[in-house]
Structures are given as structure tokens and as C-alpha cells.
Amino acid sequence: LAQPYERALLRVAQSALANTVQHADARRATVTLSYMDTGLALDIVDDGRGFDPTAALPNDAHFGLSTMRARVLALGGSLSVESADGTGTALAVSFDHPPTVQEVGT
């Protein structure tokens, strides 16, 4: 995977997990990175208190979602958040066929 994509995935995971620790009061968070024929996906799901994502998007810097979204969109990916009060949160990032290091170097 090319470095800009690695960096974006790392930073999004760090931010999402920091939000989980700081805001969610979660007992558990699961991080999954999946490589598929169609691209790759990063999923972060917690069992915390949840929130209304429409109230936090797109400009609520408190949750850092706008920064995560901008980082992903700049590389042609997508970021979605599913959550509701009392239900936990699921954050999903996907990239359709991100370039590899070899493809970037050619």
C-alpha cells in the first residue's frame, strides 16, 4: 500500500480510537482492516454510548470526524459513520483499489 494511504488509515484509526476512549464510555472496540478484490476497508466499531452523527457533521471538530473525512476524501476514499444514542458507533473507511508502492514508483 502506498504511504499516503497507510498514513491516512493510521491517523483515522488513531482518531477514532481516541474518540472512543475519550467520549464513548465503551467497554470494547474492534478494528478490522480488510483487503478485498474491490479495494480495502477499515472498520472501527465500539459498544459505547453512541451519538447523533448528523449533529456532529460536518464541522464539529470536537469529534474530529470532519478531519478524518477530509483526509480520506483527499485520497478518493469514503468515510461513513453509523451511530445513535445508546447504540455504539461504527466508522467505515473504504478505498477502491488504492495504489501500491510499486504502482506509485512507476
- Per-domain residue ranges of the chain: 3-99
Q: Where are the beta strands (DSSP E) in the chain?
A: 29-36, 39-46, 78-83, 89-95
Q: Are 8 and 69 in contact (CB under 8 A)?
A: no
d(CA 39, CA 52): 29
pLDDT in tens, 18-68: 999 999 999 999 999 999 998 999 999 999 999 988 775 555 545 588 899
pLDDT digit string (tens) for 93-104? Answer: 999 988 886 776
Q: Is 55 helix (H, G, I), strand (E, B) or coil?
A: helix
CA angle 90, 94, 97 (to 5 degrees): 160
pTM for the model:
0.86
3-99 classified as CATH 3.30.565.10: yes
